[in-house]
Amino acid sequence: MQRLFSYPYYLILFLVVVSCGSHKKTSEINPSSLVLSNDSTQFYDVQSFLKGEIKDVASTPYFIYSITTVDGKRKDSVPITSATFEILAQVFLINNISDTSIKKFYKEDVFRDLSTNSVTISYSTLNRKLPVQSLDVLLDQETNKVNYILIRTNNEYEDSTVITQLNWKRGKSYLINKTVIKNKGEHSSTQQFVCWNQ
């Protein structure tokens, strides 16, 4: 990751942002270029960040609680143990896009957002068979520390499609939002919010 924020890259990124005003940098993308990326590209180490967060919660006596919402009906918040916290958090670690067997199918884009004073690293794929369809890492521009991790997964089964949105807020909370769409059109949603440092 050091190379992304080296002086030449930062200068080029700054010049692009200035020339484009406050708009995010966009460019025309040849769809075929999204299928296979350069395997030598070093992706942001999301796995290490998340494992570090999980380890911190497991070793610190935080008060951890969870709020579950099913089909829009919220249930009361309940305290959970650090062990339960770790089990629930595994969904963030299941799919690693840096794995050499699938990394080549993802394209990395980096842009600076002047309105939020942040840098976003985005990973996306056109391969619909891969579970992770997009992953965003939002970094604080001043410290380069992660503010948020956003992951969108899509899993297709014989009778349904499961779409999951995973949001992780550094040092605070995570959200697992799952929607199940049946082939017959029926759908259900479950949202689980877990907080430990607020």
**How many whole angstroms separate alpha carbon 65 and alpha carbon 72?**
19
> Could you tell me the end-to-end alpha-carbon distance of the chain, in angstroms, rounded to an integer?
29
Banded model confidence at residue 164, pLDDT cuts 50, 70, 90:
very high
Banded model confidence at residue 115, pLDDT cuts 50, 70, 90:
confident
Tokens of 53: 């967060």
Could you tell me which of 110, 137, 134 has the C-alpha nearest to residue 25?
110
Residues 6+ apart with CB under 8 A from 149: 46, 49, 50, 92, 135, 136, 137, 138, 166, 167, 168
Per-residue model confidence (pLDDT) at position 198: 76
Tokens of 112: 């600076």
With a threshold of 0.75, does the pTM exceed it?
A: yes
45-92 per-position pLDDT tens digit:
999 999 999 999 999 999 999 999 999 888 879 999 999 999 999 999
Taking CA 168 as the corner, what is the angle to CA 165 and CA 173, rounded to the nearest 5 degrees? 120
Per-residue model confidence (pLDDT) at position 39: 60
12-34 per-position pLDDT tens digit:
333 333 333 333 333 333 333 33
**How many C-beta neighbours within 10 Å does residue 107 have?**
18
